[in-house]
Amino acid sequence: MKTIKGPAIFLAQFAADTAPFNSLDAIAGWAAGLGYKGVQIPSWDARLFDLRKAAESKTYCDEVKGTLARHGLEITELSTHLQGQLVAVHPAYDAGFDGFAAPEVRGDPVKRQQWAVQQLHDAARASAHLGLTAHATFSGALVWPFIYPFPQRPTGFNPYRNPKSALARQGAVLRRMQAREGEAGHAADDDTTMTAPPEAAAPAANAAVRVRFGRCRLDVDARRLFEEDGQEIAMTAMEFDLLRVFLANPNRVLSRDQLLQRTRNREWEPFDRSIDIRIGRLRRKIEPDPQGEPRCIRTVRNAGYMYVPI
């Protein structure tokens, strides 16, 4: 008990856009005025701390320690509570957790997880630069929201109504994560952008017939997509597979399960948004009016999607 220090305070609960809670120096002065001796710093809050800079620069970390020392404070730990939860998210809470991530990776669970893991690596390096030997985080959040309702549960969602279903969904998430790890070494994955080699950039005189798809032309044999003027549009392997399936099934409603089976050879699972995300990207590329009502790939409520040739 003689080694316990303090009292200390977690700054995340008070950080705001108004003074004195909008900068490390100001909030440190406020905490010191209340008699605190230590602070736990939220690594995600750029108003108080620059995590990437701290991971790369010991000089910056020394400046942070100096700012606190002027107020008689020390850092107890860095916190990655928010980023840590994103290492493993239960699909039932996907939308709720998405707000914890950086804007550029929201809506993409795979990229979001990669971002979260990198954040934890950065925090470990920053902690070393700060001379810290402890860290506050979560190692994922597959079970956490079932114990404590944060983020808030969606309206009408009761994880205890069917515990067997909840456990089955958790198992599905783990299987998907293991499958992704196993595919990491492959030359191309779902989101690998396909580009032609330089010598093939210009269409040859005897190029294969291009099929019209929305406002674009698709060369099925070459797996390439073109604007009407011949300019190539970058396309991922998954996007091409979706276009090929739609072309083979015009004016027919295809469920998310059918689309995943025919493109990735796996079944759709509740709260899996991978098809919806990629359909959204395709619409921006092929729809005559990307900002308007979809005319080419139409949503059929409670059923799936339908390709309508135009």
Q: Is residue 171 part of a domain?
A: no
- Average the pLDDT over each of 24-38, 61-75, 185-199, 283-297 and give the range with the smallest value: 185-199
pLDDT of the residue at 13: 87
Specify the DSSP element, H or E, that contains 39: strand 38-42
**Pair (14, 152) in one structural domain:** yes
Predicted confidence (pLDDT) at residue 4 exceeds the cutoff of 80: no
b/e burial code for range 27-58 (CB count within 10 A of at least 16 → b): bbbbbbeeebbbbbbbbbbebbbbbebbbeee
Q: Is residue 162 part of a domain?
A: no
Least Cα distance to 273 among 97, 79, 41 occurs for 97
**Pair (206, 265) in one structural domain:** yes
178-229: per-residue pLDDT in tens? 555 554 444 334 554 544 444 444 444 444 578 999 999 999 888 999 998 8
pLDDT of the residue at 237: 86
- Residue 231's CATH number: 1.10.10.10
How far is Cα 248 from Cα 240, in angstroms, rounded to an integer?
Answer: 13
**Pair (123, 255) in one structural domain:** no
**Pair (137, 212) in one structural domain:** no
pLDDT of the residue at 140: 86
168: β partners: none
pLDDT of the residue at 179: 56
**Pair (46, 105) in one structural domain:** yes
Q: Is residue 265 part of a domain?
A: yes
pLDDT of the residue at 23: 96
232: β partners: 226
- Average the pLDDT over each of 92-96, 113-117, 222-226 and give the range with the smallest value: 92-96
**Pair (205, 123) in one structural domain:** no
Domain boundary among the residues 156, 180, 210 is at 156
* Between residues 34 and 196, the one the model is more confident about: 34
DSSP classification of residue 210: P
**Pair (124, 201) in one structural domain:** no
pLDDT of the residue at 283: 93
Domain boundary among the residues 130, 156, 182 is at 156
> CA gyration radius for the chain?
25
Q: Is residue 99 part of a domain?
A: yes
Q: What is the DSSP string of 142-196?
A: SSHHHHS--SPPPTT--TTS-HHHHHHHHHHHHHHHHHHHHHTTSS--TTPEE--
Q: Is residue 276 part of a domain?
A: yes
**Pair (150, 273) in one structural domain:** no
Q: What average pLDDT does range 77-92 have in this prediction?
A: 91
Average per-residue pLDDT for the chain: 82
Predicted confidence (pLDDT) at residue 160 exceeds the cutoff of 60: no
149: β partners: none
b/e burial code for range 211-235 (CB count within 10 A of at least 16 → b): eebbbbbbbeebebbbeeeeebeeb
Predicted confidence (pLDDT) at residue 1 exceeds the cutoff of 70: no
Q: Range of 202's domain?
A: 193-307
225: β partners: 218, 233
Least Cα distance to 6 among 40, 55, 29 occurs for 40
**Pair (141, 204) in one structural domain:** no
pLDDT of the residue at 173: 53
Q: Is residue 185 part of a domain?
A: no
Q: What average pLDDT does range 58-86 have in this prediction?
A: 96
How far is Cα 75 from Cα 64, in angstroms, rounded to an integer?
Answer: 9
φ/ψ of 79, rounded to 5, equals: -120, 135
b/e burial code for range 83-113 (CB count within 10 A of at least 16 → b): bbbbbbbbbbbbebbbebbeeebbbbbbebb
Domain boundary among the residues 156, 182, 204 is at 156
Do 61 and 51 touch, CB atoms closer than 8 A? no
- Residue 57's CATH number: 3.20.20.150
How far is Cα 257 from Cα 245, in angstroms, rounded to an integer?
Answer: 13
**Pair (16, 107) in one structural domain:** yes
pLDDT of the residue at 96: 82
**Pair (34, 125) in one structural domain:** yes
> What is the domain count for the chain?
2
Q: Is residue 107 part of a domain?
A: yes
Least Cα distance to 177 among 306, 272, 75 occurs for 272
Least Cα distance to 256 among 248, 267, 245 occurs for 267
How far is Cα 247 from Cα 219, in angstroms, rounded to an integer?
Answer: 12
Predicted confidence (pLDDT) at residue 104 exceeds the cutoff of 70: yes
Least Cα distance to 68 among 44, 40, 43, 46 occurs for 40
pLDDT of the residue at 189: 43
Do 243 and 233 touch, CB atoms closer than 8 A? no
229-284: per-residue pLDDT in tens? 889 999 888 899 999 999 999 999 998 888 888 887 555 455 557 788 889 999 99
**For residue 243, what are the CA distances in angstroms to 29, 51, 149, 253, 271?**
59, 41, 40, 14, 23
**Pair (24, 131) in one structural domain:** yes
Q: Is residue 224 part of a domain?
A: yes
pLDDT of the residue at 42: 96
